[in-house]
A and B are shown apart, each in its own frame.
Chain A
Amino acid sequence: SQQGEEDPQALSIQEGENATMNCSYKTSINNLQWYRQNSGRGLVHLILIRSNEREKHSGRLRVTLDTSKKSSSLLITASRAADTASYFCGFGTGNQFYFGTGTSLTVIP
């Protein structure tokens, strides 16, 4: 069964706009991470937020976590064409690690 889901599945925006993607999960977690995947490549870690944190920033990235709602959001501000990629949330519970279904982001120059 799918432990994590993301929405929207696909998002297309103009360069300079903000992009927001959401992750919902079913289990208790130690931390939640966001990864990026360019087409045909492996995943690259973007940011980690711990279960006792509510918000975290890294450059143009802002992540929020609401453990009561079992959800997280990733905001990319002032998007660039180079941000075009798929974005996945990942989270661990016990000895398992799960990824969401991913959001495909297209930034139009």
Chain B
Amino acid sequence: NAGVTQTPKFQVLKTGQSMTLQCAQDMNHNSMYWYRQDPGMGLRLIYYSASEGTTDKGEVPNGYNVSRLNKREFSLRLESAAPSQTSVYFCASSSRTSGRRETQYFGPGTRLLVL
């Protein structure tokens, strides 16, 4: 099992460009998450999907959109990248679908630099 995979591993964008970060899990988990990690801020939840077909905003959703393509895949899209979106992005998944957040399994991260 590969666990949680993310692509790309690193990306450089110019301000205003768009891109999609891909995430897939092979653990048959219902819930998937997107976080960003900035120095001194810990991880902050951008969007999550409690189950296939549903998505909800997290703490910092502005400037992002998500798609839960199927049970395995959860993508994060930046429509018009801004320098403030320079960060490391992590995808995670867990088995629970309710408000209880059980153990989350993380991907290796995507490092995004917006110039």
Partners in one complex: yes
- The answer to whether A43 and B43 have CB atoms under 8 Å apart is yes
Q: Chain B residues with Cβ under 8 A from A33's Cβ?
A: 101, 103-104
Nearest chain B CB to A87's CB is how many angstroms away?
A: 11
Set A4, A40, A90: member contacting B104, Cβ < 8 A: A90
Interface 0/1 of B9-27, CB less than 8 Å to A: 0000000000000000000
Nearest chain A CB to B76's CB is how many angstroms away?
A: 15
Q: Chain A residues with Cβ under 8 A from B101's Cβ?
A: 30-31, 33, 90, 92, 97
- What's the Cα separation between A20 and B107 when bound, in Å? 27
Q: Chain B residues with Cβ under 8 A from A30's Cβ?
A: 99-101
Contact count band on A: 20 to 34
Q: Please count how many residues in chain B sit with their CB below 8 Å of the partner chain's CB atoms.
A: 27
Interface 0/1 of B89-115, CB less than 8 Å to A: 010100000011111111111000000
Q: Chain A residues with Cβ under 8 A from B109's Cβ?
A: 40-42
- What's the Cα separation between A98 and B109 when bound, in Å? 18
Chain B residues within CB distance 8 Å of chain A: 4, 33, 35, 40-45, 48, 50, 56, 58-59, 90, 92, 99-109
- What's the Cα separation between A33 and B58 when bound, in Å? 18
- The answer to whether B103 and A102 have CB atoms under 8 Å apart is no
- The answer to whether A42 and B59 have CB atoms under 8 Å apart is no
Chain B minimum-CB-distance residue to A6: B42
Set B43, B48, B102: member contacting A88, Cβ < 8 A: B43
Chain A residues within CB distance 8 Å of chain B: 2, 4, 30-31, 33, 35, 40-45, 48, 88, 90, 92, 94-102
Q: Chain B residues with Cβ under 8 A from A2's Cβ?
A: 41-42
Set B56, B59, B100, B108: member contacting A98, Cβ < 8 A: B59
Set A31, A42, A48, A96: member contacting B90, Cβ < 8 A: A42
- The answer to whether A92 and B100 have CB atoms under 8 Å apart is yes
Query: Provided the pairs A30-B100, A31-B100, A92-B99 are in contact, do residues A42 and B45 lie with their beta carbons within 8 angstroms?
Result: no
- The answer to whether A95 and B99 have CB atoms under 8 Å apart is yes
- The answer to whether B42 and A88 have CB atoms under 8 Å apart is yes
Q: Chain B residues with Cβ under 8 A from A100's Cβ?
A: 42
